[in-house]
Structures are given as C-alpha cells and as structure tokens.
Structure 1
Amino acid sequence: MSKSKLWTKDFISISLSNFFVFLTFYILLVTLPILALQEYHSSASEAGLMTTVFLLSAIISRPLAGKWLERGEHKKTLLTALIIFAGASILYFFPQTIMGVLFIRLLQGVGFGIATTAAGTIVADIIPPSRRGEGMGYFAMSINLAMVLGPFIGLTVIQHLGDKILFTLSMIVAFGSLVTGLIVKMEKTEKTSQAAVSSSFSIRNLIEPSAVPISVVGSFLAIVYSALLSFVSVYATEIHLANLASLFFVVYAVVLLISRPFTGKWLDQYGPNFIFYPCVILFAFGMLLLSKSGGAVTFLISAGVIGVGWGTLFPTFQTIAIQDSEPRRRGLATATFLSIYDTGMALGSFIVGLIAAKMDYSSLYFLCTFYVLIGGALYYFLHHSKKRESSPKLKSQEQ
C-alpha cells in the first residue's frame, strides 16, 4: 500500500463499518425512549435509562477492548464486537417488559464500545502517518453523517411504519457494519509479547496515560455538544423555528464536509495548535450566534459555524490522543479517549438538563459561549504548554 494513498479499500470499508454502527446507534437513540413510554408504559426516568445503560456499558467495555488491541488482535476484536452488536439487534423483537429492553441495551452497548474502539485503532494503522490528521477527519465524518441521518430515519420510520419495521431496519444496518468490517484486510501484525503487555491488573494496563490530558479537554467540551444534541430541537420550538430543527444538523454536516479537506491537511502540515485555537473560537462564536437566533438565517448560520468549530475539534483530539501514544498502545489510547469523551457526553446531558430547568435555552447557550472559551484555556494548560509539537517531518516518520 502506498504511503501517501488515503482512500484505499480498507479505509473505506472500516469507515463504512463505523458509519453503520453509529447509524444504528442514532436510529435507536431517538426512538427507544418513545417506545418505552408508549409501548411499555414506563416512566420518563426509565425511558432515559435506555441511553444511560447503553453508554455506561460502552464506557466500561472500552478499557478491556484497548487491552485486547494492545496484544495485536485488531481484526478479531472488531469482528467479535460487531457480532455482539449485530446479534443484539435481533433481540429487540422479543422483550415484553422494559427490563428486557434494558438488558439488550446493556449487551449492545458492550458491542458498541468495543467496536468503535477497535475501528478507531484500525483506521489509525491504515491511514498513512503523514496524512493522519486528514484521514481521522474523514473517518470522523462517518459519525457526523450518522448523527444527521439516524434521528431523521428513526423518527420517520417509527411515526409512519411502526416498531417492527424500525427493529428490522436497525438489524439490517447493524449487520451492514459486520459485512463491511469483514472486508477490512489488515497487514499481519506481530502480537505484542507478554513481557510488553502485562496481564496484572493496574490502571496503566487499562488506560493510556499520555491520552488522558487531551481526553479531558475533549470531555469538557463534549458537555456543550451534548447540550446541542439534547436540546437544540426544543430550543428551535421555543424560538418558533420548529420546522427548521431537523435542518440544523444537516447544515452542520454539509459545512463540515466542505471544510474537511482543508482542516485535515492543515492539521498534518501545521500541527494541532494551528487548528485548535481558531476552531474553539468558531465553536464559541457559533454558540453565541445560536443563543441570539431570532430567525432562520442566524439559526442555520450558527449550525454551520459550530459544524466547522466542534466538527473539526473532535477528530483533532482523537488524532492527538493517538499520536501522543506508542504505536503498540494506540488501542488503549483510543479506548481512553472515547471512554473519557463519552463520560463527558453522559454527564453533560444530565448536568445541562438540570441547568436548563432553571433558565431558558437562549441563556443556556449564551453561557456555553464562555464555557467553550474556558475549554480553550484548559487545552493550553493540559496540552499546549506541556508539549513541544513535533515537526511535520517527524510526524511523517512515525510508525
């Protein structure tokens, strides 16, 4: 495989597999709470557990995935996780109680956590080192596109076709992730020796310390992103733009897609600091625009600005986590980053929900503007001030 070639069959296949995993996740994320309330007559708190249980099992399983990946078992780990994930999707047809559905969410969350960790590690090995920032950016687009399409597909199906068709569709998409995962071919990887990978229990065997600082920054800013995911449609209704709520993330994704070829290349050429500070300012400015939205134009412009800002920051953080770790510990680095990031997402939905109960959404998003800027300062103290950026030449020589 040519060192400079990015769009290989394996890169496309692992990106598609990741896309199908996240598409399944988002289809069910927005519909299962509705079914919990309508079909199982559960309380709102029980409906909320649909997401909480799923994310908790994903967070807990990721360090174990990182451990297996450190041993060089990349393809085996990915396929095992995808079998669990796709197999769990078949079970949604059978439960008669809310507890049965929660058990399936627990099981599928394990598959999700391991699969997304494995995919992030595999793609880092597939991408040429000199194009890692660009490649990770395109790989992250698989998540962004799933985030746009998943809720739209899920809500459309549940409203017009019912839960059986919804579960059939999610099962087909989940098995799509397995099929595309099977296509990925990896070069023979030497298994890491037992001397290098200790089997004893220790924190260092479950997390990658070098990935923690940038993961904390990502988790900190993810709280604002969770506020967008959870409440932007409610806010749109509040400001009489309910008909545009579904377009918010469409504009977000389209602008992100347009900007991706430039931002990814700049990350490789000039390093993360060159990308981070403009993007965190754009993210903050986008939140300010959103908080002041009085009409459709401002509302949708804010979506585009946030798309470039936060949409670029996420893959930048993941790239930093991978590049700061030893090649053999990329699996643990990916697991560490995603676990800490998802913790921020899970806590963010809860914390922002509590704050939103005390103020209107316009004020909430206005405060998020300053919160994002504090995140910029956090990046400086946790990463920028402690690291001398490697030159692009050195980056390109990394394994």
Structure 2
Amino acid sequence: MDKPKLWTKNFLIVSTANFFLYFTFYLLMVTITTFATERFHASPSEAGLASGIFVIGVLLSRIFSGRYIDQVGWKKMLYIGFILFLATTFLYFLVNSMVFLFINRFLNGAAMGIASTATGTIVAKIIPNERRGEGTGYYALSLTIAAAIGPFLGMFITEHSNFYMNFVVCIIFLILSFFAVFFIKIPKLEIVKGHSNNNKDFSLHNFFEIKAIPISIIAGVIALGYSSILTFISSYSKEINLMSVGSLFFIVYAVFVLLSRPFTGQMFDKKGENFVMYPAIALFALSLFFLSQTHGSLTLLLAAAILGLGYGTTSSSVQAIAIKVSPKHRIGLATSTNFIFQDLGVGIGPFILGYFVPLIGYRGLYMMMAAVAVLCIFLYYCLHSKKATSINDDTESIMA
C-alpha cells in the first residue's frame, strides 16, 4: 500500500514560512543585546531583558492564540500574525529609547507567537496521520535550520555591516513568506458535535489541551536544559579559548539534525515514540556531559553533533506526541500547549541558570543540566511511556 503524500505544496509553503519566522527570531535574539548596548549604552541586565522579553510576548500570545484559533480561522490567524510581526519588525527602525525597545520586543514576540501557533496548527492538519512522526520531524527542520543560520548570519552582518541591515534582511524574507502563505489551501476543520460551544467559559480547559500537558512538561524541562546551551555556549567558548570553533557549534548541530531526521521520523511512525524518545533523551544528556568536559575543539564539536541527534529528535517528537494524544478538533490547543511549555523552558532558563554560573561555573552548569536530562528519562517513563503503549495498541486495532 502506497504511503500518503507528504511533500505537498502546502507542506512546503508552511515549512518555509515557519523557517523565516524562526530565522528572524534567532537572528535578533543573539544580536539585539549588542544593539541595546551600542545604541543606548544599556547595562548587561537591561540588554538581557531586551532579548528575553521577546519570549514572554511569545508565551502569552500562544495561550490566547491557541484558545481562539478555531474561532478566528487558521489562515486568518496566520495573516494576523504575519502582519503584526512585519509591522513590529519595521518599528525597530523607529526605536529611540530602551523603554520603546522593551515594548516593541514584547509586541514582536506576541506577533511571533500568533504566527507560529498558526503554522504549527496548519501543518498538523496537512500531515497524513500515517506519517505523523516523519512529517512533524521534517517540519521541525525549519526551526532547526533557522537556529543555525539565524545566529550565524546575524553575527556576520553585525560584524561586517551596519546593525540596521539585520532588520532589512528580516523584513525582506518575512515579506516574501507572507505572500507565499496566500497560496496555502487548508483542509476544512471537522468540528465534533457537542464541542463547538464548549469553549465560551474562561477555564483552563479552553486555553490548554489537558491530554498534551504531560508530554509538554517533559518538553519544557528538556528545553530548560537546551537554554543553557543557547544562552551560554558563546561565553563558555570564550572562557575555554575556543571562540572560533564555538561559532560553528550550531552549524554542526543543524547538520546532524538534517542527517538524522529522515530515519528518526520513520522510526517514530513504525516503532512508536518510546523507541525514539529514550535514546534521544539519553543522547541529549550525553551531549551536555561532553560540554562539561570540553577542553578541545573535537570534544566541543562532538557535543554539538550528539546534541543534534538528541535534542534535535526530542524537540520534534514531543510535538508529534502532543498532537497524537489529543482529539482532532483540539489540534490547535495541543500545538500551542506544547509550544508554551517549550517557550517557558527556554524563556526562564537563562534567568534561573544564570544564578548558578557564579557558583559552579559553566562546566558545573552543564554537568548539572546533564543530570537533569537523565532525570527526564524517568519523568518520561512516569508521565507518558506506559500510556504510549496503550495508545499505539488502540490505534493499531482501529486501523485493523
């Protein structure tokens, strides 16, 4: 029996649009602190807040966009998010104070949260159920590649050109992807009878998909560990005199995600999520351990490669699991629930972990995060692993 088609025009457009959303996010995330310091002579804490407040905006908007996306309409929500994201990116040219910068970063993040919730929800509907893990994995590559190219290009532009050129590049790509999304054809949303009017009350159930919360908790803890790399790898590389090699860290990471994604997605669909998640979390822990023991270029790049196999796999798999365990009519909420917990991990990580650096150093921090990653194996077992077997059995019996 032939597999249903995955690489459709809709899938490619949504993945490309998502890439440029995250490309802008990562490019500005690593360069906005320099902008704040050089343009407004901001202190390190103020510059850090200018970077981190974006994630707060993303987090809050995901809560509400996930709750109202079915009412507003998936494609309309995507347009709203893109228009707001473009508008607030243009506003960077007018920023003339730190207060203005804080406000615009927050609004820019809120717009990003709306747009990325829409792309994640739309792609979940487009991907065939039989290729859920594979399709979600390939879609997540848009984020992974953006995480590698965005910071690299941002630092390159900042070093070799006017800082405002970063905004110009982001705006050009956002405009191109905005026009592309007009050509997406979204399948009709099937509303289950009895559920259409259940979301009028202001309750937790209407802002989160309860069935997606267990796997999302795991995703949040793993993202907390990843934030230690995203935030401190540059400073750590400088401290151990590997700055030139450290600039290649996320490039190597992205390459190994690209190499692993074809077979990890297929294994998810054929063997089940447990077959993929256990080794992926273990590899994530191993990458953090290698980072804590790094003294040379080879170990640092080896940690990046293992991180691509570990975190690169878990970040897409948890999204596929969240969608898999949730009712079809609540895909939007399941998607936003998972992203909210991941954003929370990445967002609060730098603030919490920053307190440990003066006490235990970067090596101690990465050793601590490796231990947390190992604990995630047991957390996964308790919150999802046993339940996953029954879900897979039920799915097989239905298909039979």
TM value normalised by structure 1: 0.95
1:108-127 matches, within 5 Å, as: 108-127=108-127
Deviations 1:204-252 (A, max 9, x none): 1111101111111110111110000111122222222111011111111
Q: How far did residue 341 of structure 1 move?
A: 1.3
SS at match of 1:360: helix
Partner Cα separation in structure 2 for residue 190 and residue 325 of structure 1: 14
Partner Cα separation in structure 2 for residue 192 and residue 173 of structure 1: 38
Q: How far did residue 161 of structure 1 move?
A: 1.2
Tell me which moved more, 100-109 or 122-131.
100-109
Aligned length: 397
Q: How far did residue 10 of structure 1 move?
A: 0.5
* Aligned alpha-carbon RMSD (Å): 1.9
1:171-210 matches, within 5 Å, as: 171-190=171-190, 195-210=196-211
Q: How far did residue 68 of structure 1 move?
A: 2.2
* AA matched with 2:23: L
Partner Cα separation in structure 2 for residue 236 and residue 46 of structure 1: 23
Partner Cα separation in structure 2 for residue 321 and residue 310 of structure 1: 17
SS at match of 2:7: coil
Structure 2: gaps of 5 or more residues = none
Partner Cα separation in structure 1 for residue 136 and residue 107 of structure 2: 28
1:44–1:294 Cα change, 3 Å: closer
SS at match of 1:370: helix
Does structure 1 conserve the Cα–Cα contact (< 8 Å) formed by 2:145 and 2:254?
yes
Partner Cα separation in structure 1 for residue 94 and residue 85 of structure 2: 16
Tell me which moved more, 52-61 or 131-140.
52-61
Does structure 2 conserve the Cα–Cα contact (< 8 Å) formed by 1:23 and 1:173?
no
Does structure 1 conserve the Cα–Cα contact (< 8 Å) formed by 2:190 and 2:329?
no
Sequence identity (%): 39
Q: How far did residue 195 of structure 1 move?
A: 4.1
* AA matched with 1:135: G
Does structure 1 conserve the Cα–Cα contact (< 8 Å) formed by 2:26 and 2:150?
yes
Partner Cα separation in structure 2 for residue 133 and residue 397 of structure 1: 19
* Residue in 2 that maps onto 1:65: 65
Q: How far did residue 254 of structure 1 move?
A: 0.5
Partner Cα separation in structure 2 for residue 291 and residue 374 of structure 1: 17
1:222 and 2:223 correspond: yes
1:358 and 2:381 correspond: no
1:164 and 2:164 correspond: yes
Partner Cα separation in structure 1 for residue 237 and residue 162 of structure 2: 26
Does structure 2 conserve the Cα–Cα contact (< 8 Å) formed by 1:58 and 1:110?
yes
Partner Cα separation in structure 2 for residue 211 and residue 27 of structure 1: 30
Tell me which moved more, 331-340 or 65-74.
65-74
* Residue in 2 that maps onto 1:272: 273
Tell me which moved more, 82-91 or 381-390.
381-390
* AA matched with 2:168: T
1:135–1:393 Cα change, 3 Å: farther
Q: How far did residue 199 of structure 1 move?
A: 1.4
SS at match of 2:333: helix
1:320–1:41 Cα change, 3 Å: same
Does structure 2 conserve the Cα–Cα contact (< 8 Å) formed by 1:72 and 1:190?
no
1:250 and 2:235 correspond: no
SS at match of 1:4: coil
1:39–1:372 Cα change, 3 Å: same
TM value normalised by structure 2: 0.95
* AA matched with 1:33: T
1:239–1:139 Cα change, 3 Å: same
Partner Cα separation in structure 2 for residue 316 and residue 383 of structure 1: 13
* AA matched with 1:45: S
Does structure 1 conserve the Cα–Cα contact (< 8 Å) formed by 2:246 and 2:300?
no
